[in-house]
Amino acid sequence: MNISVLKETHPGETRVPLVPATAEKLVKLGATVLVETGLGESCRLGDEAYAKVGAVLEGSRTALLEKADIVLRLRKPLLEEIPAMRRGTIHVSYLDPFNELELVESLTQAGISAISLEMIPRSTIAQKMDVLSSQANLAGYVSVLLGASELQKIFPMMTTPAGTIKPAKVFIIGVGVAGLQAIATAKRLGARVDAFDTRPVVEEQVKSLGAKFVKIDLGETGQTKDGYATQLTPEQMELQKQGMAKACAKADLVITTAQLFGRKAPRIVDKAMVAQMQPGSVIVDMAVETGGNVEGSVLDSTVEVDGVKIIGLGNLPGKVAQTASEMYSANLGNFITHFWNKEDKLFQLKLDDDIIKGALITHDGALFSEMYKSIMKK
């Protein structure tokens, strides 16, 4: 079975979808692993490293697509590449299916079995292939480093001959995977950390990391079965803004991580809240790629508003591309291995499996995922 792995062409993308260690794992399963020449160069992984573990180098992207039974990549495919794939080819990558409707339609018409890694359910058995969590973990880490690099003061408390320097105050909004890692990183650097989330169930996790959980009475809130926060009512949003405005005004660094699955990120920090912050403060908007949590944030830019720097850089995991590539590649390898028939040396697309039910967007010329179809109807 041919597994083709394509080099990333998205501007600024430094991550690699498959590292040699995972390529070797797939070769040992009995797969023929075809990799595009120069696949790993952005992470200083030479072609010889892939050839050494049994992968076959191929210079033509078209040939890779034509030969593939399975295509592995990181970013979504280009529309012009889809016709090169044979009907029935299994394509595995991020797809952003809620925003890429033309792409989903093209994959459907071409008869491609397109797996969207964002849609893998958050279950115990799927944890080893959860690319969202692995990459969000790194993004949370990077967000703190970015904020610290722009903040003109140090994080830890220091006792010096000149006196005692107070620790920086960090306020983190949203306590998912990224938020928890941001808390842990800021604490390791010596900051005083406060955090808020609409889900009261995460309070103990915040406290376990040594941070303070900011309580704002919003009435009834909750989370989805996959652990995402449910959308707030307009009244709850206003109460949240009032409570968060006080915490933001006291903070040196604010990091926002709030995301809504399948929807645009909520706008939770407005210009009035920014105006109340101290000059020299910094905000990192981790949701800028999905619309942004912060009014005034600009994708892939750092702007200054009322003396406050707002960082809106996308692809934060790409700032630590080597580690991000290793984690993404491991997730991909675990996904393939989980559905691999060792006896027949084939990948089995088990349509009745819960993971496939959630992540398979298109199959056999039609939309497949019931979750995707139900969300798109709303």
- The pLDDT, as a whole number, for residue 261 is 77
- The pLDDT, as a whole number, for residue 231 is 66
Does the residue 374 lie in any domain? no
pLDDT tens digit string along 231-277? Answer: 677 777 788 888 899 999 999 999 999 988 778 898 999 999 999 99
In this structure, the answer to whether residues 140 and 99 fall within a common structural domain is: no
Query: What sign results for the dihedral spanned by CA atoms 370, 1, 332, 102?
Result: negative
In this structure, the answer to whether residues 173 and 297 fall within a common structural domain is: yes
Last residue of a domain, one of 274, 298, 314: 314
Q: Which of 95, 124, 347, 355 is nearest to 369 (CA)?
A: 355
122 is catalytic: yes
pLDDT band at 223 (very low <50, low <70, confident <90, very high): low
Contacts for 340 with CB less than 8 Å, ≥ 6 apart: 29, 346, 347, 348
In this structure, the answer to whether residues 220 and 148 fall within a common structural domain is: yes
In this structure, the answer to whether residues 296 and 178 fall within a common structural domain is: yes
Quick one: tokens of 70?
Answer: 């399975």
Quick one: tokens of 325?
Answer: 């590539």
In this structure, the answer to whether residues 285 and 214 fall within a common structural domain is: yes
C-alpha 242/C-alpha 236 separation (Å) is 10
Quick one: tokens of 188?
Answer: 């390791």
- Which of 42, 127, 205, 322 is labelled catalytic? 127
Opening angle at CA 174, ends 231 and 206, nearest 5: 130
- Which of 133, 143, 181, 329 is labelled catalytic? 133
- The pLDDT, as a whole number, for residue 224 is 54
In this structure, the answer to whether residues 99 and 34 fall within a common structural domain is: yes
236 is catalytic: no
Calculate mean pLDDT across residues 358-366: 97
In this structure, the answer to whether residues 46 and 145 fall within a common structural domain is: no
The pTM (predicted TM-score) of the whole model is: 0.92
In this structure, the answer to whether residues 224 and 105 fall within a common structural domain is: no
Provide the domain count of the chain.
2
Quick one: tokens of 360?
Answer: 């398979």
CATH of the domain at 113: 3.40.50.720
109 is catalytic: no
Of the chain, the percentage scoring pLDDT greater than 70 comes to 96
pLDDT band at 230 (very low <50, low <70, confident <90, very high): low
Residue owning tokens 């903070």: 251
- Which of 106, 116, 130, 285 is labelled catalytic? 130
3-state SS class at 189: coil
- Which of 122, 199, 263, 267 is labelled catalytic? 122
pLDDT band at 205 (very low <50, low <70, confident <90, very high): very high
In this structure, the answer to whether residues 98 and 173 fall within a common structural domain is: no
Does the residue 52 lie in any domain? yes
C-alpha 295/C-alpha 323 separation (Å) is 31
pLDDT tens digit string along 128-169? Answer: 999 999 999 999 999 999 999 999 999 999 999 999 999 999
The number of residues in the chain equals 378
Q: Count the Cβ atoms, other than its own, within 10 Å of residue 341.
A: 13
Calculate mean pLDDT across residues 288-310: 96
Does the residue 225 lie in any domain? yes
Last residue of a domain, one of 288, 314, 340: 314
Asked which of 190-194, 200-204, 306-310 is least confident by mean pLDDT, the reply is 200-204
Calculate mean pLDDT across residues 179-204: 95
In this structure, the answer to whether residues 161 and 88 fall within a common structural domain is: no
Does the residue 97 lie in any domain? yes
Amino acid at 2: N
- Which of 47, 199, 228, 263 is labelled catalytic? 228
In this structure, the answer to whether residues 99 and 229 fall within a common structural domain is: no
In this structure, the answer to whether residues 156 and 297 fall within a common structural domain is: yes
Domain that holds residue 192: 136-314
